[in-house]
Amino acid sequence: MDESLEEHQSQTLDQEKEIVTEGSAVVHGEPSQDGSVPPKVDSEVEVLDEKVSKQIIKEGHGSKPSKYSTCFLHYRAWTKHTQHKFEDTWQEQQPIELVLGKEKKEMAGLAIGVSSMKSGERALLHIGWELGYGKDGNFSFPNVPPMADLLYEVEVIGFDETKEGKARSDMTVEERIGAADRRKMDGNNLFKEDKLEEAMQQYEMAIAYMGDDFMFQLYGKYQDMALAVKNPCHLNMAACLIKLKRYDEAIGHCNIVLTEEEKTPKALFRRGKAKAELGQMDSAREDFRKAQKYAPDDNAIRRELRAIAEQEKAVYQKQKEMYKGMFVGREESGGKGKSRNWLIMLWQWMVSLFSRVFGRHRVKAD
């Protein structure tokens, strides 16, 4: 590499940078930590339709999408009464696309909710079965029982205002790559302004244009063009997530890049940092050493390997002192025990001697 990761750090957005989260976000309630159950939300219930209501979890910013806007979102979905989770796009790390006014019938309630949301907004939607999977439900994927009211935890990543409502599937390869690249550049600009949440939204929207169904169809120069947009977005997402202390998610984005290009030092470096923060030192060291193999002159990698070595040395010294203290304690307690035993033996000898002397006197007296 011509430049080390450390030198690249101050010049490119693919590298580490001190980033702060957007200060304007207001959170109402706490989303579920593992996504297994719906989040508990304490905000006011807003009625959007006879069968749709909304509670805001996190405030968004900017305007709301209009009809035919192409919206990019993540969601988790549960049946309301049994709280059976039947879909989770966060788990798949793949945002979905929803064109308002052209949604599927079972997405009608979701579309009403999304149309009321701003970019970056996260909300809990309550949707009646009539605007969900209906009277019969769905017995394939997703599996939803008949007449099931639904709960959606939704986050709107962003949206494109397109009057014709042109979906990704209707775009040419060049159009999709171009749209993704514009989103990436928008994210980079927001990244430079330390607007972390908004930058991540742009990166996720760019990634949404480069979905698995699309990538599988590409080869040659088009595949190279797409990866040149997609992988930096994953790497920038990982950098943001590390700053947010969301280390497992950062590792997930690095893994995606390494699946495509296993010799990417930036992905190995980021994954190593996330693992180190999780205390997975052996695995982190392995990632840093692999990264060093592909970027042998990089100072940042050397620094991380040195930090791990120093940390392990400190832990060893601490353990050594602790064990030394334990052994000294045992020796001291052992010495005290010996002294105590000696006194007992002396006392017993004196008692025995006194008894013998006293016994002799008694015999003479008799």
Rounded average pLDDT over 305-315: 87
Residue 135 pLDDT > 70: yes
Rounded average pLDDT over 294-315: 89
Among 43-52, 119-128, 187-196, 322-331, the range scoring the smallest mean pLDDT is 322-331
Q: For residue range 147-178, what is the model confidence (pLDDT) as tens digits? A: 999 999 999 988 887 654 566 777 888 888 88
Q: What is the pLDDT, as a whole number, of residue 133?
A: 96
Residue 14 pLDDT > 50: no
Q: Where are the alpha helices (DSSP H) in the chain?
A: 5-9, 89-92, 108-114, 173-192, 196-209, 212-215, 220-243, 247-260, 265-277, 281-294, 299-365
pLDDT interval class at 323 (50, 70, 90): low
Q: For residue range 36-92, what is the model confidence (pLDDT) as tens digits? A: 899 999 999 999 999 999 999 999 888 899 888 888 899 999 999 999 999 998 887
| Residue 164 identity (one-letter amino acid) | E
β-bridge pairing 96-99 and 70-79: antiparallel
Residue 26 pLDDT > 60: no
The structure tokens listed for 191 are 């990244």
Of the candidates 114, 36, 127, 12, the residue with the CA atom closest to the CA atom of residue 70: 114
Question: What is the spatial distance between Cα 112 and Cα 3, in angstroms, rounded to a whole number?
Answer: 49
**CA-atom Rg of the chain in angstroms:** 32
Q: How many CB atoms lie within 10 A of CB 252?
A: 18
Rounded average pLDDT over 344-360: 59
Question: What is the spatial distance between Cα 171 and Cα 60, in angstroms, rounded to a whole number?
Answer: 28
DSSP 79-131: ETTT--EEEEHHHHT--EEEETTS--GGGHHHHHHHTT--BT-EEEEEE-GGG
Residue 30 pLDDT > 60: no
Distances (CA, A) of 174 to 2, 171, 216: 30, 8, 15
Rounded average pLDDT over 263-269: 94
Rounded to the nearest angstrom, the gap between the alpha carbon of residue 243 and the centroid of all alpha carbons in its chain is: 11
Q: What is the pLDDT, as a whole number, of residue 9?
A: 41
Q: For residue range 226-244, what is the model confidence (pLDDT) as tens digits? A: 889 999 999 999 999 998 8
Residue 183 pLDDT > 80: yes
Q: What is the pLDDT, as a whole number, of residue 314?
A: 81
Mean pLDDT score across all residues of the chain: 80
Among 90-94, 126-130, 204-208, 331-335, the range scoring the smallest mean pLDDT is 331-335
Residue 346 pLDDT > 80: no
Between 209 and 77, whose confidence is greater?
77
